[in-house]
Amino acid sequence: MKKHLGGFCDLGFAKIDTDRINRRGFPEVVFAQGKTLTQLKEIARTFIVSNHPLILTRINQEQYKFLKKIYPKLKLNPLGKIAYLTKNNIKKIGNVLIITAGTSDIPIAEEAAVTLEIMGNNVTRLYDVGVAGVHRVLDKKELLRKANCIIVVAGMEGALASLVSGLVSSPVIGVPTSCGYGANFGGLSSLLTMLNSCSPGVVVVNIDNGFGAGYFASLVNKGQKG
Amino acid sequence: MKKHLGGFCDLGFAKIDTDRINRRGFPEVVFAQGKTLTQLKEIARTFIVSNHPLILTRINQEQYKFLKKIYPKLKLNPLGKIAYLTKNNIKKIGNVLIITAGTSDIPIAEEAAVTLEIMGNNVTRLYDVGVAGVHRVLDKKELLRKANCIIVVAGMEGALASLVSGLVSSPVIGVPTSCGYGANFGGLSSLLTMLNSCSPGVVVVNIDNGFGAGYFASLVNKGQKG
Amino acid sequence: MKKHLGGFCDLGFAKIDTDRINRRGFPEVVFAQGKTLTQLKEIARTFIVSNHPLILTRINQEQYKFLKKIYPKLKLNPLGKIAYLTKNNIKKIGNVLIITAGTSDIPIAEEAAVTLEIMGNNVTRLYDVGVAGVHRVLDKKELLRKANCIIVVAGMEGALASLVSGLVSSPVIGVPTSCGYGANFGGLSSLLTMLNSCSPGVVVVNIDNGFGAGYFASLVNKGQKG
Amino acid sequence: MKKHLGGFCDLGFAKIDTDRINRRGFPEVVFAQGKTLTQLKEIARTFIVSNHPLILTRINQEQYKFLKKIYPKLKLNPLGKIAYLTKNNIKKIGNVLIITAGTSDIPIAEEAAVTLEIMGNNVTRLYDVGVAGVHRVLDKKELLRKANCIIVVAGMEGALASLVSGLVSSPVIGVPTSCGYGANFGGLSSLLTMLNSCSPGVVVVNIDNGFGAGYFASLVNKGQKG
Amino acid sequence: MKKHLGGFCDLGFAKIDTDRINRRGFPEVVFAQGKTLTQLKEIARTFIVSNHPLILTRINQEQYKFLKKIYPKLKLNPLGKIAYLTKNNIKKIGNVLIITAGTSDIPIAEEAAVTLEIMGNNVTRLYDVGVAGVHRVLDKKELLRKANCIIVVAGMEGALASLVSGLVSSPVIGVPTSCGYGANFGGLSSLLTMLNSCSPGVVVVNIDNGFGAGYFASLVNKGQKG
Amino acid sequence: MKKHLGGFCDLGFAKIDTDRINRRGFPEVVFAQGKTLTQLKEIARTFIVSNHPLILTRINQEQYKFLKKIYPKLKLNPLGKIAYLTKNNIKKIGNVLIITAGTSDIPIAEEAAVTLEIMGNNVTRLYDVGVAGVHRVLDKKELLRKANCIIVVAGMEGALASLVSGLVSSPVIGVPTSCGYGANFGGLSSLLTMLNSCSPGVVVVNIDNGFGAGYFASLVNKGQKG
Amino acid sequence: MKKHLGGFCDLGFAKIDTDRINRRGFPEVVFAQGKTLTQLKEIARTFIVSNHPLILTRINQEQYKFLKKIYPKLKLNPLGKIAYLTKNNIKKIGNVLIITAGTSDIPIAEEAAVTLEIMGNNVTRLYDVGVAGVHRVLDKKELLRKANCIIVVAGMEGALASLVSGLVSSPVIGVPTSCGYGANFGGLSSLLTMLNSCSPGVVVVNIDNGFGAGYFASLVNKGQKG
Amino acid sequence: MKKHLGGFCDLGFAKIDTDRINRRGFPEVVFAQGKTLTQLKEIARTFIVSNHPLILTRINQEQYKFLKKIYPKLKLNPLGKIAYLTKNNIKKIGNVLIITAGTSDIPIAEEAAVTLEIMGNNVTRLYDVGVAGVHRVLDKKELLRKANCIIVVAGMEGALASLVSGLVSSPVIGVPTSCGYGANFGGLSSLLTMLNSCSPGVVVVNIDNGFGAGYFASLVNKGQKG
């Protein structure tokens, strides 16, 4: 019962936004979490048939293996839980720096990193440089200054976003994570920290939303180079 | 007891970050709210003497009148509550669009607008086009598409940020406002709405933080044109 | 120890409200979640013996299979998790439109849909038309306008309810869902969005309460046709 | 700088939704709270010139007196804080019952009542019948049963909405109010009570949102009679 | 390393309050949840040796079976999850009525009931009489009036406590339960409802705290008869 | 438009529950806060005419002076903000002890004390004995043990209720107060403390609800002596 | 009705803990906020008569002027809102460093500073060195390292406590302040930040509790020197 | 890809802060929770090679067994979930007392205790002396007074910290735990209690943060003896 009308493809349970690439410069990305295998199969086919790149975030092992059988070229970033089937030779431009406060924040950072790479951005990673040992990030000022845009991924108290922002002239995107326990309240502490940043130049996305940070950073980075 | 060492000017009660313009490309901006007249006078003098532009956010009438007597050239945007004393002929570039959902959101929008203009950006205003009458914003698609960066200022349910983002390829900065009542909880409803946006390309600043949104938008807009 | 007195049937652990059909026009509906198999068996028998339609919401597979053996005609909507044993030929009237923002909201939408159908209402489904691609819902204005009542089911930022309400003259019932993560806080973001709607004509039920929305919509739709 | 294009009238600081009466069957209503006298004057003129009824909610004494001088026929419901200038002889139909739990809830109830009356509905008032003395509402079963739609306005624990709903076949709209203190948390307790109603047939609007409840009730009541 | 000094018995990991029966009229009751089998064995022995009644709340199957082997006379109320080894012929006095709003609230009600019975109180049970069908509780006014003290156990909106209190002269103890979903927030809605009761004569214990309600009711009931 | 039917007196804006004394053993008490002078005058007359004691809680100076002119015998407890006009020679029985943690909690304690005295209970006051100096309350064990019922009024961390309860065999009613600042969150900290008491025998009323605590304590104290 | 028994002085409305100096090494300190002039006069006299130092926190102008007339030697720190009458020549030892993130945090810092000075500690002040310009605090490493104990006072995102702790071997006491707006929620953001510090060696006191931080720091600093 | 530069060792996914022992007097401690076995192996090797003591908090059985095979001398405190490989003969000094309110708080207390012992402090344990039987802690005043620093670990209402603080002159560190249920909200009640302590001399760490409390207590205790 597929129908292509008015800029979307109607699968009944989903309306694939086939117009998005024209409107927004990048096709729809599929949020795999909670979708059935059958739903994913139908959605995937729609993208492939339309010749759109297929990107699935928050995919689990079972979902990935199922689709991998159908589309053997489907790739996976296991840390970032993103699967994708895109043209091979996309040219990467610019420079986005992704920083984490701790080791536990890396999966969310990788979600951002893969998103950026698929969208054609160069990515630099700087992991585990939280404020408990501030010399680690101060030691990398050169990296900080060379970035067009910086993503800071941090759980617990999330203080790193303000600190980094205070050192650079580029825009900083804060990603609070749910890493921590107790009065962390599932990422609330880090979220509030970043929202209340005393350093201008910081914006925030949802807790654990590496994809959203990567997507936004791509808009900023590519705009600067376009 | 003023001391200029190590990149800041020490007034005792304040350490003016005189190095910021080198490090970040723009000087420190003064948060006037809660500061005494004496403190403001000393801070203002430090900026003037250092030949830095003086910008004061969240300034009230009493504070403005006091400083106006000392610096007659000090200007005020009364809606945005920003006073400034800057060089006259800064060239404005690019294009940032500021949208509000309602009339009550305009003061926060103006805080963003003045910030952008002082920082050298062209600003377009599109006010009172909330989702209760979506044809008002759809009617302005041309404006939306011409912007390098869009700021959406909205209280109550804050739904406008997602909607606008879904129509454009440029980055969207959401500013939740405290306009509303009851289960708005001082802007919490709008804040959560924007953080949970289903549309990639939206980031968020603190509730009522027009200045922060304007500052960040300037980084994006000027990067794109630089 | 069953007793039929004063408008209810006393099973000890439950008092079946046998008077409800007189008082409210529709019999009691059983919330199956958390009830033991023995409790469900006794409750079901009471309904069957009283010649009332038997409807069980939030039923799980084990509960359904157990009752299905006893009452082979018991039907199940597996997505909506509603089992029911009702007269076959109830006439359906009017028109209630059920809209979801995303694919993950469909189970809650189906809970509403089955409730409406059992109560004798025509239902139209329009799924996955969230504000990230607003053209999908604008494309269906005809469907929107033909409905007597509209149910909007949405998680994440829940912005769709306000938008739809702004397009129609019929009443809109918002169902926030717990779909999302991070600052969604189990549906709180969507709930607050809908409660703070800037568009008059929107009311809200509990998070994930598809049954409640369907029940209320039936009252509205049937009133309009009665 | 007024412009009438695309279904709205552009005042710069406001875009009056002149198309709303066609689209939704009722014109835009003005939320006066927080608007300046100048803004209100311009908005009012737009409505009058367009020959639309003018309705202003949450208006304060100063605002009312200012507009009253310009439009001497402007009427005020002082409890409900609604001012209006409408055609005199609108025919009222149907029957909406408005119930309050306490005396302090009456201003919100009156906001709903005036809204309903302006929109052409008959209103019955039943005030101060909270659950601490349930005989008061049970004594009025006749009133309850004659209503097409019932609005229950309650602060504190807000229990009245469920109770009333359990007695009737008509839809019930709950309006939590901020009346109370301590763990009432500005109306949160009453809001949560109504959202968690164990009685199907109850929906909820924002805390203290009498206007929203009245507007929605009008859609239900007039649908039933149309 | 057991030591009996200063009114308690020191087991290292626990200090059994052996003086409590003198001070408070009833011995310490053991909160079994989270304790290891070894800890429970040592604690149980201390009570038995001291000739105190042994009562364990929130005991799970594994814990019960383990202790049952050692103390074959240990009894269990499986719904209320209380195990106890007390003298057989305690005389019961007075009359405490325990009411639940729904069937799912019964386990918490049974925790209260067993506590009361062990402490020597007569208990009457009235289950599943929530406000969605208020005739069920109004039908039992005789039961309500005969009680010295009433415990109302209710989840979801928890409205029953206020209603019952409004009908009687005896004190009412509200026990909010975590039964419900969505905006119930783990029992918060019911807790706030009961705390904000408009009916004087209602007090509240922690969410799901059947034991606490039973204990307090015993103090009230036995005082009245003492 | 006064009507005496069905156990209440209908003033339109209020339905005085004239049956309450029969049903509950004590007449309705008027919550003065937020009521207009006219409303209070009409309500007061209804009570006087019906020969019921008149009790008004949370009354302010203006309200009291207004009613005092009409009823010169009206008395006031200025700390507790309760005005009352009752028969002079009510016999007081039993013994309720009211304890506060600090000096700032006294107004709420006095609200409870006056309520108890009007209802015919002997009251003992023990003020400012919080846990920062626990010897102060331990020094008064004799007072604690002689009470039939104890009310503990405490803001800040509210720890006193648990401590007192652990020393006595009588029931303890905790009244959290809003005294404090910062993470006190308007009394939330004290409320949660008392709800989570590790000492059985503690129940809780709303924040700052001295009246409710006094009312409940009267039921307990008089039951014990009746 | 003053009584000196059992280690306290009973004023009725207050029980002065005269034993505290023996038990805890420092006398009771009076929380002036909310106390009446009469209460303060009686309390002050008790201290003076007992030859104890008199210290009053959160004192307002009216209270201070009233007591100043009676005790002309009473001193005031107007920023910290502490009045005190102590022996002149207390010897100060050790070194406590007090740091603020911003200028607005100074009043809370001064509350801590005066407390420390009265208790006999040397205090060093380092104000306005928040993370937006981290070079300001890094420039003062010498000051940081020389302190026995550091108090960090910060509102907004409160990130400074973790950063400072990561640089030193001395214990850090975080004081979140309510400075900020929007999602600061009265200091909650800063409080959560400090509680979730990724740097070991940080503890936290209540929002705006400068006195508590000063008191605790004195225990640490003097212990180290004792 | 290990690199030792600028005071840290760069493993890519982690930057081990090898400078910390110089800067802070104690090396970095590894938070094992959420780390992979491979990550732990690499991190452990870095510590061993650098001749630093290896300490891992929140380690689970699988992680411990894996590392135990590689480093057979690795020890485990199973209750406190801390594994460590340190020099055997560290001299212990001073005296830190660790108190718990209940038996369920012991695991968190042990986390603090092991931390203290590894850092070279004498520890005294006093478990299960909560305020429900205050004689248990009053009986141990000698222990309280001999401590240089006291850690109070308490869930539920967390009242013990204030009480203990009121008895001693040494500093008290409160550790709220998540033990409890219902309105405990994962430790929030205990956290707020301790933050609002009316007794000066109490500071707080994160919920369940035994390690942080132990670390801070070591700084205090060793300072006092150094």
Selected residue of B177, B189, B202, B207 to mutate for chain C interface (largest C Cβ count, 10 A):
B189
Residue B226's pLDDT band (boundaries 50, 70, 90)? Answer: very low
| CB contact (8 A) between residue B7 and residue G136 | yes
- Which residues are within 8 A (CB) of D32 and not within 5 positions of it... i.e. 6 or more apart? D40, D56, D57, D58, D59, D60, D63, D83
Chain C residues with beta carbon closer than 8 angstroms to that of A7: 133, 135-136, 139
Q: Residues of H at the F interface (Cβ-Cβ below 8 Å)?
A: 101-102, 130-134, 138, 156-159, 162-163, 165-167, 180, 182-185, 188-190, 192-200
Residue indicated by tokens 């009679």: D225
H133/D136 Cα distance (integer angstroms): 47
Position F223 confidence tier, pLDDT thresholds 50, 70, 90: confident
Does residue F74 sit in helix, strand or coil? Answer: coil
Distance from CA of G223 to the nearest CA of H (A): 5
Helical residues (DSSP H) of H71-186, grouped into ranges? 106-118, 135-138, 141-146, 160-165
Give the torsion sign (CA, C160, B185, D131, D57): negative
Q: Is residue E5's pLDDT more than 70?
A: no
* DSSP-based three-state secondary structure for A93: strand
Q: What distance in Å separates residue E123's CA from the closest CA in chain C?
A: 15
- Closest F-chain CA to E220: F220
Q: How far apart are CA F157 and CA F178, in angstroms?
A: 10
Mean of all residue pLDDT scores within chain G: 94
Q: Are H52 and H27 spatial neighbours (Cβ–Cβ below 8 Å)?
A: yes
Chain H residues closer than 8 Å to A177 by CB:
none
**pLDDT bucket at E96, cuts 50 / 70 / 90:** very high
- Verify whether the Cβ–Cβ distance A220 to B223 is below 8 Å: yes
What pLDDT was estimated at residue A6? 73
Other C-beta atoms within 10 Å of H37: how many?
Answer: 12
Separation of alpha carbons E160 and F225, rounded Å: 29
Residues of C with CB under 8 A from a CB of B: 101-102, 130-134, 138, 156-159, 162-163, 165-167, 180, 182-185, 188-190, 192-200
Task: Output the tens digit of pLDDT for each of chain A's 226 residues.
Answer: 455 557 899 999 999 999 999 999 999 999 999 999 999 999 999 999 988 899 999 999 999 999 999 999 999 999 999 999 988 778 999 999 999 999 999 999 999 999 999 999 999 999 999 999 999 999 999 999 999 999 999 999 899 999 999 999 999 999 999 999 999 999 999 999 999 999 999 999 999 999 999 999 999 999 843 3
- Say yes or no to pLDDT of G126 above 90: yes
Return the residue of B nearest to C136 by Cα. B166
Mutate to test the interface with H, among E11, E193, E206 (most CBs of H within 10 A): E206
Best CA proximity match to B195, nearest among B176, B214, B181, B179: B176
- Per-residue pLDDT tens for D112-159? 999 999 999 999 999 999 999 999 999 999 999 999 999 999 999 899
> In whole angstroms, what is the distance from residue G165 CA to residue H24 CA?
9
F192: nearest CB among H132, H163, H183: H183
Mutate to test the interface with D, among B181, B184, B189 (most CBs of D within 10 A): B181
Residues of chain D with pLDDT under 50: 1, 225-226
How long a stretch of residues is chain E? 226
Q: How many CB pairs (< 8 A) connect D and E?
A: 111
Q: Do B199 and C163 touch (CB under 8 A)?
A: no
**Chain D positions in Cβ-Cβ contact with residue E131 (cut-off 8 Å):** 159, 162-163, 166, 198-199
Is H15's CB within 8 Å of A179's CB?
A: no
Contact status, residue A27 vs residue A20, Cβ threshold 8 Å: yes
Q: Check CB contact under 8 Å for E8 and H182.
A: no
CA angle at G127 for the pair G125 and G133, rounded to the nearest 5°: 140
Dmax of chain B from CA atoms? 60
Q: Provide the pLDDT confidence category of residue B175 given band limits of 50, 70 and 90.
A: very high
Residues of B in contact with A203 (CB under 8 A): 173, 203-205, 212, 216
**Sheet with G149-154: strands ordered across:** G121-126, G93-100, G149-154, G172-176, G202-204, H202-204, H172-176, H149-154, H93-100, H121-126
Tell me: pLDDT of E95 over 90. Answer: yes
pLDDT at D94: 96
**What angle (nearest 5°) sits at the alpha carbon of residue H193, between those of residues H191 and H199?**
125
- Residue H70 is inside which H or E element, if any? helix H61-70
Cα separation, B183 vs D192, whole angstroms: 11
In whole angstroms, give the CA distance from residue C81 to residue C66: 15
> What sign does the dihedral A131-A136-A141-A145 (CA atoms) show?
negative
- The confidence score (pLDDT) of residue F87 equals 81
Distance CA B127, CA G103 (A): 35
Contact A207 C182 (CB under 8 A): yes
Distance CA B159, CA B189 (A): 10
- Confidence label for F1 from pLDDT (cuts 50, 70 and 90): very low
The parts of chain H modelled with pLDDT lower than 50 are 1, 224-226
Task: Kindly provide the ipTM of the predicted complex, given to two decimals.
Answer: 0.94
Q: What is the mean pLDDT of residues E8-29?
A: 93
Tell me the residues of A at the B interface, defined by beta carbons under 8 Å apart.
23-26, 29, 148, 166-171, 173, 191, 195-197, 200-207, 211-212, 215-216, 219-220, 223-224, 226
Q: How many CB pairs under 8 A join B and C?
A: 113
- pLDDT for the residue numbered G225: 37
* pLDDT tens per residue, range C143-167: 999 999 999 999 998 999 999 999 9
**Residues of H engaging G, defined by a Cβ cutoff of 8 Å:** 23-26, 29, 148, 166-171, 173, 191, 195-197, 200-207, 211-212, 215-216, 219-220, 223-224, 226
C neighbour chains, 3+ CB pairs within 8 Å: A, B, D, E
Contact (CB<8Å) D203/C173: yes
Query: From the CA of H142, how many Å to the nearest CA of chain F?
Result: 16
For H48-72, give one letter per residue: b (16+ CB within 10 A) or e: eeeebbbbbbbbeeebbebbeeebe
D8 contacts D17 by C-beta, under 8 angstroms? yes
Query: Hey, which chains touch H, using 3+ CB pairs under 8 Å?
Result: A, E, F, G
First to last CA, chain C: 40
Q: What is the pLDDT of residue C50?
A: 87
| Closest CB from H26, H166, H196 relative to G206 | H196
Q: Which of A200, A205, A207 sits opposite B203 (nearest CB)?
A: A205
DSSP E37-66: HHHHHHHHHHHHHTT--EEEES--HHHHHH
Residues C86-97 pLDDT 10s = 887 789 999 999
CA G24/CA A173 separation, integer angstroms: 49
Q: Is the CB of E203 less than 8 angstroms away from the CB of F201? A: no
- E-F interface (Cβ pairs under 8 Å ≥ 3): yes
Strand partners, G160: none
Between CA E51 and CA E57, with CA E54 as vertex, the angle to 5 degrees is: 165
Q: What pLDDT band is residue F5 in, cutting at 50, 70 and 90? A: low
- Chain G residues with CB within 8 Å of chain A CB: 101-102, 130-134, 138, 156-159, 162-163, 165-167, 180, 182-185, 188-190, 192-200
Other chains touching E, judged by 3 or more CB pairs under 8 Å = C, D, F, H
Q: Which residue of B has its CA nearest to G134?
A: B17
Q: Which residues of C touch A (CB under 8 A)?
A: 102-104, 106, 127-129, 132-133, 135-136, 139, 179, 181-185
* pLDDT tens readout for residues F11-22: 999 999 999 999
Q: What whole-number distance in Å separates Cα of residue C5 and Cα of residue C21?
A: 15
Please choose, from the candidates E140, E60, E66, E149, the residue with its C-alpha nearest in 3D space to the C-alpha of residue E113: E149
Closest chain E CA to residue H139? E6
Does B have 3 or more CB contacts under 8 Å with D?
yes
Joined tokens for residue C192: 């607050």
The closest CB to that of E209, out of H104, H136, H182, belongs to: H182
How much is the mean pLDDT over chain D? Answer: 94
Contacting residues of F for H128, CB less than 8 Å apart: none
Per-residue confidence (pLDDT) for residue H225, from 0 to 100: 37
CA G166 to chain centre: 23
Confidence of residue E27 (pLDDT cuts 50, 70, 90): very high
Please, which residues have CB within 8 angstroms of residue C39's CB and are 6 or more apart in sequence? C13, C14, E103
